[in-house]
Amino acid sequence: MLHQDQVEQARKLLAYLETRTTALADGVYRNPVSDYTSPQQAARERDLFFRRGPLCIGLSCLLPKAGDFLTHDYAGVPILLVRQPDGSLRAFLNVCRHRGARLAEGRGAGARDFSCPYHGWCYGLDGALLARPDESSFAEIDKAASGLRELPLVEKYGLIWLSPTPGAGFDIDALLAGLERDLAAYRLESYHHYETRVLQRRINWKVAVDTFLELYHLNVLHPRTVGPILYTNLATFDAFGRNLRMIGARRTIGELRETSEAAWNLIRHSAVVCVLFPNTVLIMQGDHLETWHIFPAGNGVDECQMYASLYTPEPALTDSARRHWDRNMELLMATVEKEDFPLSEGMQRGFYSGAQQDVIFGRNEPSLQHFHKSVKAALAASGG
Ligand code: FES
Ligand SMILES: [Fe+2]
């Protein structure tokens, strides 16, 4: 976030603190329970959001060097990302053009090519088919047209977005709708990947996103984890197209009053939550970045899979740095995995009980309202 924006947002948070209020929506919003239980809606979401995209995959530092590769299967199609010798990043369907075997697994470094484990067709880092054993038996199939199927990919602001559908190009700045100003200011291209954990839970993917979109529950559900760190029920809200930014205040924020605005660093005294629509949650956590990438799994309705990553501004080179980041990862998991998600699984089961047709997002939960209105607007705009 640019300094001038930090000052503006910090003033807002300090005013909320003084007047004991928070960013408020115009009214209460009733969200239909079917949003979390409808197989028809889940199928439309899968097609539109997860199959077509674009989706944010993570930070550029996941693949820093030429020959680094990463496979990604969360969106429902097998994807292979490869850092090119010229430093650019490309993505392909991880599917051999001979009979469809997977070319690569997991992540790796120093690849010079990808040799299929089934019959040995060999592809360059750029996806071109370089060689196939017993070439004469395949001579009538044009080699030049047998490269890996490429996926549209954009790398910008230190982040990677791709579409899992070949040919489904996108304009990321148009989609970010102004949020790129914050992203550019974070200089994420200089960040380092510390750790990623994969989680699977029995909840609709949107329930997992919802977890991050209000601070109304902090002192009730998290009295021993993040409750003591952040003020409860106090946050800003700003929409950027379908994306959003919600800033919570650390209990240290009052220290800003003791210095001139020119010296204010709001990032140190806040947690800045951004939703990169639809399924990515970025959280600037004072001295590091946490990201959540959340996908429907299994039947797509009441199961989801996600990966949570911790990124740091400096590489973790010392034991004390590693202990510090490990403690942050543990706090994140103690909060979300041990406190939020068990409760979320109970909600998901309750959705099927018939207790109610809607759940309620209060005026103090504008981020939740915006996220769900955006999901519905996107589905409606696609004819769903
Ligand atoms: S499936 Fe890849 S070489 Fe046959
Ligand atoms: Fe929570």
Confidence of residue 263 (pLDDT cuts 50, 70, 90): very high
Question: Are the C-beta atoms of 123 and 114 separated by less than 8 Å?
Answer: yes
Rounded CA-CA distance 80/320 in Å is 34
Average pLDDT of span 264-276? 98
For 265-293, what is the mean pLDDT?
A: 97
End-to-end CA distance of the chain: 35
Separation of 296 CA from ligand 2 center, angstroms? 20
Residue with CA closest to ligand 1 atom 1: 99
Tens digit of each residue's pLDDT (9 = 90 or more) over 44-95: 999 999 999 999 999 999 999 999 999 999 999 999 999 999 999 999 999 9
Given a cut of 80, whether residue 193 has pLDDT beyond it is yes
User: Given a cut of 70, is residue 304 above it in pLDDT?
Assistant: yes
- What number of other Cβ atoms are within 10 A of residue 128's Cβ? 14
Q: Which ligand is nearest to the CA of 337?
A: 2
Which ligand neighbours the alpha carbon of 331 most closely?
2
Which run of H or of E encompasses 272? strand 270-276
Please state which CATH number belongs to domain 3-53+178-381: 3.90.380.10
Task: Report the candidate in 177, 204, 131 with the shortest Cα–Cα distance to residue 370.
Answer: 177
Atom of ligand 1 nearest to the CA of 101: 1
Question: What percentage of residues in the chain have a pLDDT greater than 90?
Answer: 99
Of the candidate ranges 31-40, 193-202, 304-313, 375-384, the one whose mean pLDDT is the lowest: 375-384
Ligand 1 atom closest to the CA of 121, numbered from 1? 3
Using the atom order of ligand 1, give the atom closest to the CA of residue 132: 3
The one-letter code for the residue type at 86 is: D
Model-level pTM greater than 0.85? yes
Within the chain, all domains assigned CATH 2.102.10.10 are found at 69-156
Q: Which CATH architecture has domain 69-156?
A: 3-layer Sandwich (2.102)
Ligand 2 geometric centre to CA of 365 (Å): 13
- Protein residues whose CB sits closer than 6 Å to any atom of ligand 1: 96, 98-101, 116, 118-121
Asked if residues 263 and 49 have their Cβ atoms less than 8 Å apart, the reply is no
Residue bearing the CA closest to ligand 1, atom 4: 119
Best residue among 95, 114, 118 to mutate for probing ligand 1, ranked by most atoms within 8 Å of CB: 118
Note the pLDDT of residue 383: 84
pLDDT of residue 384: 57
CATH 3.90.380.10 placement within the chain: 3-53+178-381
